[in-house]
Chains A and B, each alone.
Chain A
Amino acid sequence: MTLMEQARAGTVTAEMRRVAEREGVDPEFVRRGIARGTMVIPRNRLRQKLEPVGIGEGLRVKVNASVGTSRERADIAGELEKVRVAAQAGTDTIMDLSTWGELDLVRREVLAAAPVPVGTLPVYQAVAEAIACHGTPAAMSAEGLFETVERHAADGVDFLAVHAATCRETIQRARGSGRIDHLVSYGGSYLMGWMIATGRENPFFEQYDRLLEIAREYEVTLGLADTYRPGCLADSLDRLQVAEMVILGELVQRAREGGVQVMVKGPGHVPVDEVSATVRLEKRLCAGAPYFVFGPVVTDAAPGYDHITSAIGGAIAGASGADFICYVTPAEHLGYPTAVDVREGVMAARIAARWGDLARGLGDGKSAK
């Protein structure tokens, strides 16, 4: 039985009780949230010792810090230092978004080092391996993609970000959409490139049930990622973004039917007066699924200070109902972040989350943290 199925059967599990205790809420409230899918507790079945973290409606707004090796910097020790700094600064979760280097090793080291739930984006590894083995990401296969997902789940990853809604229908729509900045999602771009090169449907979309099976087996929470998150203010809430959100809503429903915990990833670059509408739209279309937002940054014009532009957007998003804020560091748009940037990014996101908590009426310090 998955956690969601247990909740539906009326069982208050140990992790639900622990989350309730940390949040200062009734365990029954957590059980109901998990059963409905308005709350998730991302914890891989293999990681029973991990302190559970609840994300969703009625709980404190959570913060994620991302680390990862890249072609420019494949130094594992440096990334582990960032994991340590992020945890010390109070991040609630860590994502390992490594795109280059010894990816299996980095992931396993991050999982061993992080005292909080860990998420990954398996398509990065599938792309890196296709390039390493065949010289091109077009050589990526559906089998390879699922094999990578399974490998991550079997290592104990707690939540997986997958661009499952990027289907042929949406890429048709991308043509002539008049966007300024077409694609800023790295994983989404590769999937879309692969779809164009091979003429095939996105395997995560086409074989979504297979994804759900893996998620069930390992109790992995799915983070349904959006390929068309806006990369500049002008593209926010355009037809492409909304069209994808409609499909995301359908996939949320299917995940829940399969007893799989699921959250939805979002923005990006969003002007102040569109932040609340974006969150409300997600809550409506995705039936209250926890919303995991990147930033959002509220102006394109302040590179070097995007931890601040995103603290503003994250605060408004949190107050409007977003549940989980992915940090943005001062190095965003410019290069890789240092450990100091990571600390600044986590602190800024936590301030935004705190604002969200106050707006939710959770500001009375009841949290047991």
Chain B
Amino acid sequence: MTQMMAAREGRVTPEMTHVARDEKVPVEVILEGVARGTIIIPHSGGRSKATRAVGIGRGLRTKVNASVGASSEGSDAGGEIDKLRVAISAGADTIMELSSGGDLDFLRRQVLEIAPVPVGTVPIYQAALEAIEQRGSIVDMTPEDMFEVIERQGADGVDFMAIHCALSLEVVARLRQQGRVADIVSRGGAFLTAWMLHHERENPLYEQFDRVLEIAKRHDVTLSIGDAIRPGCIADSLDRAQVQGLLLVGELVERAREAGVQVMVEGPGHVPVPQIEATVLLEKQVCKGAPYFVLGTLVTDIAPGYDHITAAIGGTIAATAGADFICYVTPAEHLGLPSAQDVREGVIAARIAAHAADLAKGVKGAWAWDLAMARARKALDWEAQFRLAMDPDKPRRLRAERSPGGSDACSMCGPHCAMKLISEYLGRKEIETC
């Protein structure tokens, strides 16, 4: 039975209780949200190890996903496991395992074994890779291959899967008619489109969506309906093709909910300033409040090497407008595979975006954190500042390197210290040093 089916029966699961406690909200709020589909708890029962239940959706803390994965060019399983550990220590709420090279079953099972948080995958990557290995090319992939991989990953205990179900011949036709600058940048979307055009056939994941639902229901896999044609440059944002895809997503969201399958929607991409809020509101409206999982969003195309920053800006605006879940972007985006250090930077940048938005949205507990930091700063309590810091290590290191004296006592002005005068004037007991 899925979390959604339990919620509809009014049954509070241990996962709902955990999420309620974690978010400091009454469990009824979680129960109602899961029943309606505005909150999801991606938590497959199939994992051997106990994992943290994480709630994503309306009224909850904005969550952050970090993606890892080996590729055919280089990166090994060990390196990816290392990144996984870094992402978890940096505070990622979920992990997506996006390998497109190496021993995929082995790596996925390793990640599922080690990650204490929900794990997501994109099954089409594996289906495509196996088609190349076994049949010689991606277009020789059969619908059976696709469903077999989804089933295999579901049986392994994957908590959520990005599946490009909302890609149809109609959407592809609109995309052609639109005349995009960057066409399709979603790898899974590109594989499927190539397959559809080659065979002149409908997308099996769309055509046989009920079969996807059946697997998802059996393993309580939360579906992330992948945005196969997310904009790959700001000029392509919110075009007719994207909106057509979104309409299809909305229909599939309803069908998933009817089947008792938890579902979220995956979105942008590159989005210019004035379109972010509209993009989020459109998703919320068309997909009836389904949690929105956004990559970035990146607000400019021209700062490669700094896309964790462009994404942090877009992510803040998107989450403030109602996006619930942010997929991190690392400084290596558009350039190559991220290093462990890039993963850390990416997770922290996305967490900053999520938290800044939570402050604006008035999410429970968000303000208390900043207030505690402000007080620690005022009191010059460095240990408390490091403890409260989103990443305690970096500020500790910077402080040690860049303020070698490290002394808080100020000997510059003697008895006429301006801070002391001000403190006395303002009637404060403690002396405020500079």
> A192 to B418, Cβ gap below 8 A?
yes
Report which of A235, A299, A302, A355 forms a contact with B299, defined as CB distance below 8 A.
A355
The answer to whether A68 has its CB under 8 Å from any CB of chain B is no
Q: Is the CB of B308 within 8 A of A308?
A: yes
**What are the residues of chain A within 8 A of B391 when measuring CB–CB?**
302, 304-305
Contact B388 A334 (CB under 8 A): no
User: By the criterion CB–CB under 8 Å, are A304 and B418 in contact?
Assistant: no
In the complex, A3→B306 CA distance in Å? 38
A327 to B432 Cα, complex, angstroms: 26
Report A136 CB to chain B, min CB distance, Å: 4
Q: Is the CB of A348 within 8 A of B352?
A: no
A190 at the A/B interface (Cβ < 8 Å)?
A: yes
The closest CB in chain A to the CB of B302 belongs to A354
What CA separation (Å) do A271 and B370 show in the bound complex?
10
**A137 engages B378 (CB within 8 Å):** no
Q: Is the CB of B416 within 8 A of A136?
A: yes
Whether A193 pairs with B316 at a CB distance below 8 angstroms is no
| B299 contacts across to A, CB distance below 8 A | 315, 351, 354-355, 358
Interface of B is mostly: helix
B163 at the interface (CB under 8 A from A): no
Contact B349 A354 (CB under 8 A): no
Q: What are the residues of chain B within 8 A of A176 when measuring CB–CB? A: 426-427
Q: Is B320 an interface residue (CB 8 A)?
A: yes
A180 engages B390 (CB within 8 Å): no
B29 at the interface (CB under 8 A from A): no
Asked if A348 and B306 make an inter-chain contact with CB atoms under 8 angstroms apart, the answer reads yes
| Chain A residues positioned under 8 Å from B317 (CB to CB) | 316
Q: How far is the CA of A233 from the CA of B356 in the complex (A)?
A: 10
Residue of B nearest to A186 (CB): B434
State A354–B310 Cα separation when bound (angstroms): 10
Query: Interface residues of A, CB < 8 Å — how many?
Result: 66
Which of A72, A316, A331, A351 is the one whose CB lies under 8 Å from B310? Answer: A351
A358 partner residues in chain B, CB cutoff 8 A: 234, 272-274, 299-300
Nearest-neighbour CB distance to chain A for B207, whole angstroms, equals 40
Q: Judge whether A298 is part of the interface by a CB distance below 8 angstroms.
A: yes
Give 1 or 0 for each of A277-304: 1 = CB within 8 Å of chain B CB.
0000000000000000000001111111
B422 sits at the interface (CB 8 A): yes
Contact (Cβ within 8 A) B426 A175: yes
Contact B303 A354 (CB under 8 A): yes
- Which of A22-30, A101-109, A210-218, A335-343 is the interface stretch? A335-343
Q: Specify which of A193, A308, A335 is in contact with B352 (CB 8 Å cutoff).
A: A308
Report if B104 contacts A (CB, 8 A): no
Q: Does A148 touch B at the CB level, under 8 Å?
A: no
User: Is A355 touching B414 in the complex (CB atoms < 8 A)?
Assistant: no
Bound CA span A316–B353, Å: 12
Q: Which residues in B have their C-beta under 8 angstroms from that of A181?
A: 374, 377-378
Contact B418 A194 (CB under 8 A): yes
Which residues of B lie under 8 Å from residue A302 when comparing CB positions? 348, 351-352, 355, 389-391
* Residues in A neighbouring B417, C-beta threshold 8 A: 193
Given A351-B303, A351-B313, residue A300 in contact with residue B399 (CB < 8 A)? no
Please state if B373 and A71 are interface contacts (CB–CB under 8 Å): no
Least CB distance from A341 to B in Å reads 8
Instruction: Return chain A residues, CB-CB under 8 Å to B316.
Output: 272, 298, 312, 316
B402 in contact with A303 (CB, 8 Å): no
A143 at the interface (CB under 8 A from B): no
CB within 8 Å of A: which of B392-420?
Answer: 394-395, 397-399, 401-405, 412-419
- Interface mask (A236-275 → B, CB under 8 Å = 1, otherwise 0): 0000000000000000000000000000000001011100
Is A197 touching B421 in the complex (CB atoms < 8 A)?
yes
Cα distance A308–B306 when bound, in Å? 10
Q: Check: A309 CB closer than 8 A to any chain B CB.
A: yes
In the complex, whether A363 has a CB less than 8 A from a CB of chain B is yes
- Is the Cβ of A315 less than 8 Å from the Cβ of B434? no
Beta-carbon contact of A183 and B422 below 8 Å: yes
B402 touches A234 (CB 8 A): no
Chain A residue at minimum C-beta to C-beta distance from B375: A180
Please provide the chain A residues from 333 to 369 with a CB less than 8 Å away from any CB of chain B in the complex.
333-338, 347-348, 350-352, 354-355, 358-359, 363
B159 to chain A, nearest CB (A): 28
Q: Roughly how many angstroms separate A137 CA and B316 CA in the complex, as a whole number?
A: 42
Which has the most chain A C-beta neighbours within 10 Å: B316, B349, B367?
A: B316
B106 within 8 A of A: no
Determine the distance from Cα of A34 to Cα of B357 in the docked complex, in whole angstroms: 37
Q: Tell whether, in the assembled complex, residue A312 and residue B273 are in contact, meaning their CB atoms are under 8 Å apart.
A: no
Residue B335 at the chain A interface, CB threshold 8 Å: no
Q: Are B389 and A174 in contact (CB under 8 A)?
A: no
Q: Which residues of B contact A138 (CB under 8 A)?
A: 416, 418, 421
Is there a chain B Cβ closer than 8 Å to A330's Cβ?
A: yes
- Which residue of chain A has its CB nearest to the CB of B407? A72
Q: Which of B272, B351, B418 contacts A190 (CB 8 A)?
A: B418
Q: Is A85 close to B, CB under 8 A?
A: no
**Distance in Å: Cβ of B410 to nearest Cβ of chain A:** 10
Chain A, residue nearest B398 (CB): A334
Q: Which of A71, A192, A193, A301 contacts B388 (CB 8 A)?
A: A301
Whether B309 pairs with A335 at a CB distance below 8 angstroms is no
B180 to chain A, nearest CB (A): 18
Q: How far is it, in angstroms, between the C-alpha of A354 and the C-alpha of B303 when the chains are bound?
A: 10
- Check A333–B377 contact: CB distance below 8 A: yes
Write out, one digit per residue, whether chain B residues 71-89 have a CB within 8 A of any chain A CB (1) or not (0): 0000000000000000000
Q: Complex formed: what's the CA distance from A196 to B412 in Å? A: 18
Give residues of chain B (371-388) contacting chain A, Cβ–Cβ below 8 Å: 371, 373-375, 377-378, 385, 388
Task: Tell me whether B25 is interfacial, beta carbon within 8 Å.
Answer: no
Which residues of A have CB within 8 Å of B402?
A: 331, 334-338
* Complex contact A272–B374 (CB within 8 A): no
A319 within 8 A of B: yes
Query: Which listed residue, B310, B370, B397, touches A299 by the CB 8 Å rule?
Result: B370
Which B-chain residue is minimally distant from A181 (CB atoms)? B378
28 cross-chain CB contacts under 8 A: A72-B403, A131-B413, A135-B413, A138-B421, A181-B374, A183-B422, A189-B434, A192-B422, A193-B422, A232-B374, A233-B371, A235-B374, A271-B360, A272-B316, A298-B352, A298-B356, A299-B390, A301-B373, A302-B352, A304-B398, A308-B349, A319-B273, A348-B306, A350-B303, A351-B310, A354-B302, A355-B273, A363-B272
Given contacts A303-B394, A336-B403, A355-B313, 5 further A-B contacts (CB under 8 A): A196-B425, A299-B359, A301-B373, A303-B395, A347-B306
